[in-house]
Chains A and B, each alone.
Chain A
Amino acid sequence: MQVAVDAGAGSLLLEARGITKYFGAVTAIENVNLSLSRGEVLGVVGDNGAGKSTLMKVLTGLFRPSEGEILVQGRPVHFHSPRDSHRAGIDMVYQDLALAGNMPIFENIYLGREPGRSFGGLTLIDHSRSRKLAKEHLDRLQIHVKSVDQNVEDLSGGQRQAVAIARATAFDAKVVIMDEPTAALAIKEVGKVLDLIKRLKDHGVGVILVSHRMDDIFYVCDRVMAIFRGRNFADAQLKDTSRNEVIGWIMGTKGAVAGLAHDKVH
Chain B
Amino acid sequence: MADLATNATDAAPQEPKRSLLSALLEDYGIILVVVVMVFVLSILQPDYFLSAQNITNIVRQIGMNALLALGLYIVIVTAGIDLSVGSVMALSVMLLAMADRAGWPWPIVLLVGPAVGTMIGIINGLGLTLLRLPHPFIMTLGTLNAVRGICNLVSGGQPVSGISAPVRYLGTGDIPLPFGNEFAVIPVSAIALLVCYCSVAWFLKKVSLGRHIFAIGGNPQAARVSGINVNGVLVFVYAVSGFFAGLAALLMAGRTGSGYPNLGIGAELDAIAAVIIGGASFFGGRGTVLGVFAGVLVMGLLRNGLNLMNISAFWQQTLIGFIIIFAVWIDVLRRNSGVRT
Contacts and interface: CB of A to CB of B under 8 A. Distances in A.
Chain B interface SS verdict (over half): loop
Interface of B: 1-6, 10-15, 206-209, 211-212, 214-215, 217-219, 221-223, 225-228, 284-286, 340-341
Interface string A112-138: 111010000011110100000000000
Given A98-B222, A125-B211, A155-B12, A192 B285 contact: no
B340 A153 contact: yes
B12 A112 contact: no
B5 A145 contact: yes
A103 B215 contact: yes
24 contacts: A82-B225, A92-B225, A98-B225, A101-B219, A102-B285, A103-B285, A111-B226, A112-B226, A112-B227, A113-B226, A114-B211, A122-B207, A124-B207, A124-B208, A142-B2, A144-B2, A144-B5, A155-B5, A155-B11, A156-B5, A159-B4, A162-B4, A192-B4, A195-B1
Nearest to B208: A123
A100 interface: yes
Interface string A241-252: 000000000000
- Residue with the greatest number of chain A CB neighbours at <10 A, chosen from B208, B227, B285: B208
A216 B277 CA distance: 48
A189 interface: yes
Contacts of A202: none
Contact of B6 (A102, A144, A193): A144
Given A125-B208, A154-B15, A111 B215 contact: yes
A164 B215 CA distance: 15
Given A82-B227, A111-B223, A154-B14, A159 B5 contact: yes
A68 interface: no
Contacts of B1: 142, 191-192, 194-196
The 5 closest A-B pairs by CB, nearest first: A100-B218, A112-B226, A156-B12, A195-B1, A102-B285
